[in-house]
Structure 1
Amino acid sequence: MDVRISKHNRLSVFELDALREAFKRSVRENNVTEIKWAEHAELFVKRMIRKESRAIRG
């Protein structure tokens, strides 16, 4: 999943919804318990940022 950040560094409502759905899917696919959601969310966001960074560079 690619999440593009606009030139104003803001996500649209649609992008936020897609990101939320991707996170929920990741939680299900990785069998993350609720107690581990915060840790998983941090790793998930870092992965998304890295993907975005690579997409921008080329």
Structure 2
Amino acid sequence: MDVRRSKHDTLGRLSVFELDALREAFKRSVRENNVTEIRWAEHAELFVKRAIGKKSRVLRA
């Protein structure tokens, strides 16, 4: 097993702490980008795609 991969990567699950951090980061992004509630779904999709892209770049390093 690749040492850079954690247990949650293998299982495809995130810890409560990781989910909380993502939630807080999303809320901060909403505030910083003045996203209205009606556009949250679209913003969330882009936010997750960017977060996954950043994570995969870290794992490849």
Q: TM-score, normalised by structure 2?
A: 0.84
Rate the CA distance shift 1:45–1:5 in 2: closer, same or farther, 3 A: farther
Higher helix share: 2
Q: Does 1:15 align with 2:32?
A: no
Whether 1:45 and 2:48 are equivalent positions in the alignment is yes
Higher relative contact order (CA 8 A, sep 6+): 1
Partner Cα distance (1:49, 1:18) in 2: 14
- Structure 1 position 8, deviation (Å): 1.1
Runs of 4+, deviation exceeding 3 Å: none
Unaligned runs of 5+ in 1: none
**Structure 2 unaligned blocks of 5 or more:** 1-5
User: Which residue does 1:56 correspond to in 2?
Assistant: 59
Name the larger-Rg structure. Answer: 2
Number of aligned residues: 55
